[in-house]
Amino acid sequence: MSDFDNEKTGGQERPDYYQPNQNEGQTYYTPHQNEQADNNTTYHYSYAGKAQENQESYSNTSNYSSGNGNYYQPPQNDNKQNAENGNSPKPPKKKPSAGKIVAIILVICAFVAAVGIVLSTTGVIDDSKNSQNNSSTSQSQDSGSDVKTNDSNSVQTKDSSGNLTVAGVAKKVMDSCVGITVYSEKQASYNYFYNYGNNDGNNSSNSDPEKSGEGSGIIMSEKNGKTYILTCAHVISEGTKFTVTLNNKKEYDAKMVAYDSQTDIGVLSIDATGLQVAEFANSDNLAVGEQVIAIGCPGGLEFMNSLTSGYISALDRPISSNIGYDNKCIQVDAAINPGNSGGALFNMQGQVIGVNSSKIAATEYEGMGFAVPSDTAIATANSLIKSGYVEGRAKLGITYLPLTKYSNYSAILSALEEKGYKNAQGTMVINSVDGSSDLASKDVKQYDMIVAINGKTMTSTDVLTSVLADSKPGDTVKLTIARIENNSIKTSTVECKLMESKGDSSSQSNSSGE
């Protein structure tokens, strides 16, 4: 029996001082409905396939011709006009000699010849350019009918310093990532997170298991002809049958080895050898700001082995497991979605540094995912494979109810504060004591309250769980017990030797340490 199973009291009548809430056990959740549609604006661009024609026209006039196209027309009746204007005609100039005329003609001929050579050369150059342009255009049109890609543009798996890129990490690790399909005999709603099955009050079982969810996993190790798959406890805890899908789409029937709800770690096994086993890093060496890669099956196997990238946002974040224990997790901003649970969180060397476990899913939050550190995951998994439970874990050997479940808890807290136990909201009301617990031989009974441990007031249940986490079976703790008698509260101190917990683990293996 679990050390802290929240079971309802039964059998013995409760004292009149206790008045349990009528709505005990109910959970309220109101999803946000503030989704808004985006108003996308599309900009349209037009492209003219033809060049615009030149609107500037050339006239037929030039420096060398008149408007009528004639080269030169001497003025008419020039002497007559001068005479009419009263001007006497000028005497004719002396005609040049024949030698001068010859010289002038030679100069003009030389000039005309030079202009001709220049124009001829220009024409050759222009013709050559036009020829090249036409050739280039022709070649472009010919090659356009058979476009070829440049094979030199390959995926870069390493940067200039020789370190792996995101693509390089993906290429290295993808074959060590798997998808998990879970089947259950009980009727349950299809839930990727597997946390809660909606039976609608119907607990009947089906003859054939039905698919109840999908998740992710990591090829962890190989031993004695078996390959072990690391995943999350909440992925497999409700299942009775499992299949594992490799990156190459090959499927294997899987068996549950064991799972531990406290750390949210579970292990499956398949009969296979020679698969790519993941490499694990020491999660104690992580630092905020490191780049990380998450690989898993968001939304199920339809999107198997999807990759997202981000950075470590924080370390040692206390995140509560399904049974109320706080685990110190890695916080990342890489997208973690339903179905990613059990998948790997890698560093940029392609080493597993965590097992993706949960995400804060609310409209007020974005980019807050969490992973169980690899050191915790491996230690838990190895113990599950060896013994079927987590060895060396201590417990008191009781079940309890939180004091805050009772309608008159405020009055009890006030009475405890008068006795020096301030803010004791974490007080535990003992429901039952395990017969093998050291407390079974002590003056402790049902409805007694644990208000402090080792002198620390129970301001929350984390006070006790943290003490147990730092203890081992056989260690002794001091409990402050409060008891209500004759409508008053009396306290006493009890010493208890801790026992080994096999509690919130479950195993379907033979526990032979295979």
- With tokens 């090959």, the residue in question is 250
Residue 363 has pLDDT above 90, yes or no: no
| Sign for the pseudo-dihedral over CA of 419, 423, 425, 428 | negative
**Where is 256: in which H helix or E strand?**
strand 251-260
Q: Once rounded to an integer, what is the mean pLDDT over residues 300-309?
A: 92
Percent of the chain past pLDDT 70, that is, above it, reads 61
- Model pLDDT for residues 365-382, shown as the tens digit of each residue: 677 899 999 999 999 999
Active site residues: 234, 264, 341
Across the chain, mean pLDDT equals 75
Q: Once rounded to an integer, what is the mean pLDDT over residues 13-41?
A: 42
Six-digit token pair at 22? 């009528």
Q: Which fold has domain 394-500?
A: Pdz3 Domain (2.30.42)
- Model pLDDT for residues 228-247, shown as the tens digit of each residue: 999 999 999 989 999 999 99
Residue 332 has pLDDT above 70, yes or no: yes
- Model pLDDT for residues 483-501, shown as the tens digit of each residue: 998 888 999 999 999 999 8
- Model pLDDT for residues 440-469, shown as the tens digit of each residue: 999 999 999 999 999 999 999 889 988 998
Amino acid (1-letter code) at residue 121: T
Domain ranges (residues) in the chain: 177-270, 283-374, 394-500
Amino acid (1-letter code) at residue 87: N
| 177-270: CATH, from 3.90.226.10, 3.20.20.70, 3.40.50.300, 2.40.10.10 | 2.40.10.10
Give the best-scoring range by mean pLDDT among 330-334, 337-341, 504-508.
330-334
- Model pLDDT for residues 159-203, shown as the tens digit of each residue: 777 788 999 999 999 999 999 999 998 654 444 433 333 444 444
Minimum mean pLDDT range among 47-61, 304-318, 415-429, 458-472: 47-61
**Where is 135: in which H helix or E strand?**
helix 98-143
The residues, any chain, with a CB within 8 Å of residue 6's CB and separated by 6 or more, are 324, 399, 400, 401, 402
Q: How many CA atoms lie within 13 A of 434 on its CB side?
A: 21
The string over 455-485, giving b where at least 16 C-beta atoms fall within 10 Å of a residue's C-beta and e elsewhere, is eebbebbbbbbbbbeebeeeeebebbbbbbe
Whole-angstrom Cα distance, residue 414 to residue 419? 9
Whole-angstrom Cα distance, residue 354 to residue 199? 33
So what's the pLDDT on residue 174? 96
Residue 60 has pLDDT above 60, yes or no: no
DSSP one-letter string for 146-184: S----TT-----B-TTS-B-HHHHHHHHGGGEEEEEEEE
Among 506, 508, 505, 503, smallest CA distance to 1 is for: 503
Among 100, 244, 131, 239, smallest CA distance to 179 is for: 244
Identical fold between 177-270 and 394-500: no
| Superfamily of domain 283-374 in the CATH hierarchy | Trypsin-like serine proteases (2.40.10.10)
Six-digit token pair at 256? 């549950």
